[in-house]
Amino acid sequence: MMTFRHRCATVTALLLCTAAGQGVAQTRAPSSDAKAAERRAADTERRMRPDERTTLTHGLWAIPLIPNVVIPPEAVLGAGYVTGIPRLDVPALIETDASLGVSYIAGLRKDGATALPSATAMGSTWNPDLIRRGGAMIASEARAKGFNVLLGGGINLMRDPRNGRTFEYFGEDPLHSGVLGGAAIDGAQSQHVMSTVKHFALNAQETGRHAVDGRISDDAFRMSDLLAFELAIERGKPGAVMCAYNRVNGAPACGSDYLLNRVLKRDWRYPGFVMSDWGAVGATDFALAGLDQQSGAQIDKQVYFGAPLAEAAARDNAYAARVADMNRRILQSIYAVGLDAHLPVKGPIDFAANAAVARAVEDEGIVLLRNQNALLPLSKDVRSIVVIGGYADSGVLSGGGSTQVQPEGGPAVSLPMGGEGPLAKYNNQTYHGTAPLAAIRALAPKAKVTFVDGRYPAEAAAAARRADVAIVFATQWMSEGADVPNLSLPGGQDATVAAVAEANPKTIVVLETGGPVLMPWLDRTGAVLEAWYGGARGGDAIAATLFGDVDPSGRLPVTFPASLDQLPRPALPYAGMIDRDFAAGVAEGKTYPIDYDVEGADVGYRWFARNGASPLFPFGFGLSYTTFDHRALQIRGGASPSATVTIRNTGTRAGSDVAQLYLVSTPAGRTLRLAGFAKVTLQPGATATAALAIEPRVLADSKGGRWTMPAGTYGFALGRSATDLGPVVTVRLPAREWR
């Protein structure tokens, strides 16, 4: 029997087994490589001529949609281009959006790419090794297309499930998002492609994203959203941090001295550079607040970090010092990731090998939410199946906006969603990847498999009545730039699902949603799978899970509320209002505060626990076709606390379990915080001992920028979810305080 403790040395849990203390050390004591990069950067910066000193501090949006912008021939059509300095062998920065794959930018570049499933699906894997492979895969494709910077690493926490970019983020917990986000970045940069982490910070909704002002206390912020960034930065060492559109405590995030100079650069000693989001810069003095590079500068009112910055530097020492620092930071990241030594080489892509990575992510990302009377896995001898709705005959849904990825040849289905102007194409609702219908047919060759589009509930119900099994696909499209108004499935799909479930008790609902949705029909269904946005092999992964070729091992990275009034803000802040104000020309100078201190650091499951509210499905939840037994949880104290637990597969199939360790009490009282996790794969009857590092910052409270832990008794429990906790094990820990 191979124990998980042994596996820690090589596989899934390596990061978790070793990294909790390491990450801190790496930021505070730079490795020799980082020091060498710093020395080289200082040397190159000294050799810059005056006319070269603002070259790296601004870039353009490299798509031919804006009049009067000349895109240099060596740029690749994509999100951005920052001119290099050939005299000093400084390469241009050629940037593409790439959180989920090299993006397609509305079809302007015709080459396709491999789409990973949504980040929420990635979050459901709880498997940093797999997510690291995903990051490396995307970066390898980016290099083959001529890019050297990925605008990836989206790790905003889900403070509102209606956020239109929920699918771009890993979840709602800072440890979970920080670990997985760090792994994605690390994977990308292993290919000598620089990655960002974004959007720094509190970019929690798309409604009024350029105008809303997130208000939150420093302590709560550092224990939640900022902790996710802090962990991802330590683990992934991204070359750049992308600041957000919104304001934070009054200041624009990209012009926030507090966020950029104080938290990021002073407290965390971040050595890389801060790039703005596209169109997020409002003045040259954002440089003094810590912004190092103005991205997509033609979208702002002016190129603030070009001539105006050079002029400011010529007359003001503070600006001159800042410009030198901006250059050193950008150069340091270029050298640390090896962009100058490993120029991108355009070449062929092994799409089959890369699709296997996307498939592995979706296999582990699908979450089985309900399985009445073991309806799943389906027998391959089933005689008739009706597949209903969700364009399941064509592909799987994907999210819209800058992360949109398409395969070679374009999307399987592309539905215009309205909108005006040159960016309207960003709005298409697109389906790609493999089609679930074909994959189901392939796995059940003896069955009669029919398809009904699902637009008419009565027609779908009649087809369901005639079949042995009904599999109804329900979709919720999300896109950057807009939130969903509520958590109901759009377009009358709830009526279709309800009618089908009424007609056939063997109804399986497959959800392809960006995030949580309400399920008014839940009790009438036989089974529910959350498949998220499934990526390049989504249909195959869904079918393999339905028929049991793959055991579902995904666990929810977000809480599914039972109703909107369970949320910290039952009404979406400023829905409709800010757009109206902009259209009426009255938004300028107005503030739109959102009070995030309502929940503070108690985001997601912690908010539900605080209020004693029962969610529809809790954070960490997910069923399997097998069963696991947890025994002998042991906690070791000391400066680097850790845990071990023995897990046994008590069922008859191989499967994977996620050991979730929650802190349930501190000397100050009850709490609920994910403190560590590890994923274990076990054959039937096999046992493993999982070793989990405990992240010390999760045990501590932030007070005035310092982590503090009182001496006393801390309680821990292993959870099958945030609401299904095992026996509490306590340990005495000494008082600690650190930054």
Query: Least distance to ligand BGC from the beta carbon of 213, Å?
Result: 17
| Cα distances (angstroms) measured from residue 287 to each of 281, 319, 344, 707 | 10, 8, 30, 29
> Strand ranges (DSSP E) for 201-287?
212-215, 240-243, 247-248, 251-252, 273-275
Q: What residue ranges bind ligand BGC (CB under 6 A)?
A: 79, 97, 151, 198, 277-278, 402
> Strand ranges (DSSP E) for 372-468?
384-388, 396-397, 413-415, 429-432, 448-452
Query: Least distance to ligand BGC from the beta carbon of 165, Å?
Result: 8
Query: Least distance to ligand BGC from the beta carbon of 94, Å?
Result: 13
Query: Least distance to ligand BGC from the beta carbon of 157, Å?
Result: 16
Query: Least distance to ligand BGC from the beta carbon of 73, Å?
Result: 21
Q: Is the dihedral of CA 239, 243, 248, 250 positive or negative?
A: positive
CA distance 47 to 661: 52
Query: Least distance to ligand BGC from the beta carbon of 154, Å?
Result: 7
Look at the block and give the residue holding tokens 């008014």: 520
Q: Do 240 and 82 touch, CB atoms closer than 8 A? A: no
Q: Do 69 and 61 touch, CB atoms closer than 8 A? A: yes
Query: Least distance to ligand BGC from the beta carbon of 302, Å?
Result: 19
Tell how strand 669-682 and strand 655-666 pair up. Answer: antiparallel
Query: Least distance to ligand BGC from the beta carbon of 196, Å?
Result: 8
CA distance 733 to 675: 15
Q: Chain centroid to CA 364: how far? A: 15
Query: Least distance to ligand BGC from the beta carbon of 333, Å?
Result: 17
CA distance 414 to 434: 15
Query: Least distance to ligand BGC from the beta carbon of 278, Å?
Result: 4
Return the number of the residue (151 or 693) whose C-beta is nearest ligand BGC.
Answer: 151
| Cα distances (angstroms) measured from residue 485 to each of 165, 205, 531 | 13, 11, 22
> Strand ranges (DSSP E) for 134-239?
149-151, 194-200, 212-215
DSSP 565-593: GGSSSSSPTTTTHHHHHHHTT--TT--EE
Return the number of the residue (180 or 729) whose C-beta is nearest ligand BGC.
Answer: 180
Mention every residue, 6+ apart, whose C-beta is less than 8 A from residue 236: 153, 181, 182, 183, 184, 185, 186, 189, 195, 197
Query: Least distance to ligand BGC from the beta carbon of 83, Å?
Result: 18
Return the number of the residue (213 or 277) whose C-beta is nearest ligand BGC.
Answer: 277
Return the number of the residue (160 or 701) whose C-beta is nearest ligand BGC.
Answer: 160
Nearest to 58 by CA among 318, 383, 286, 389: 286
Query: Least distance to ligand BGC from the beta carbon of 402, Å?
Result: 4
Query: Least distance to ligand BGC from the beta carbon of 585, Å?
Result: 23
Query: 567, exposed or middle or buried, with CB in 10 Å at 0-12, 13-18, 19+?
Result: buried
* 3-state SS record for 50-77: HHHCCHHHECECCCCCCCCCCCCCCCCC
Return the number of the residue (151 or 511) whose C-beta is nearest ligand BGC.
Answer: 151
Mention every residue, 6+ apart, whose C-beta is less than 8 A from residue 234: 23, 24, 26, 27, 182
Mention every residue, 6+ apart, whose C-beta is less than 8 A from residue 37: 332, 333, 335, 336
Return the number of the residue (151 or 387) whose C-beta is nearest ligand BGC.
Answer: 151
Q: Is the dihedral of CA 389, 390, 391, 395 positive or negative?
A: negative
Return the number of the residue (252 or 622) whose C-beta is nearest ligand BGC.
Answer: 252
SS3 state at 331? helix
For 372, phi then psi, to 5°, come to: -70, 135
Return the number of the residue (113 or 360) whose C-beta is nearest ligand BGC.
Answer: 113
Return the number of the residue (131 or 243) whose C-beta is nearest ligand BGC.
Answer: 243
DSSP code, position 106: G
Tell how strand 149-151 and strand 396-397 pair up. Answer: unpaired
Return the number of the residue (401 or 526) whose C-beta is nearest ligand BGC.
Answer: 401
Q: Find out whether the peptide bond into 91 is cis, omega within 30 degrees of 0.
A: no
Query: Least distance to ligand BGC from the beta carbon of 294, Å?
Result: 13
Return the number of the residue (66 or 639) whose C-beta is nearest ligand BGC.
Answer: 66
Return the number of the residue (168 or 599) whose C-beta is nearest ligand BGC.
Answer: 168
Return the number of the residue (238 or 526) whose C-beta is nearest ligand BGC.
Answer: 238
Return the number of the residue (240 or 659) whose C-beta is nearest ligand BGC.
Answer: 240
Look at the block and give the residue holding tokens 């940037």: 95
Return the number of the residue (151 or 378) whose C-beta is nearest ligand BGC.
Answer: 151
DSSP code, position 536: G
The two tokens of residue 130 are 């797999």
Return the number of the residue (125 or 402) whose C-beta is nearest ligand BGC.
Answer: 402
The two tokens of residue 435 are 């089609």
Nearest to 116 by CA among 361, 394, 428: 361
Query: Least distance to ligand BGC from the beta carbon of 167, Å?
Result: 13
Query: Least distance to ligand BGC from the beta carbon of 584, Å?
Result: 24
Return the number of the residue (295 or 721) whose C-beta is nearest ligand BGC.
Answer: 295
State the DSSP H helix or E strand holding residue 676, giving kind and residue range, or none if neither: strand 669-682
Query: Least distance to ligand BGC from the beta carbon of 669, Å?
Result: 39
Look at the block and give the residue holding tokens 């821990």: 716
Q: Do 15 and 7 touch, CB atoms closer than 8 A? A: no
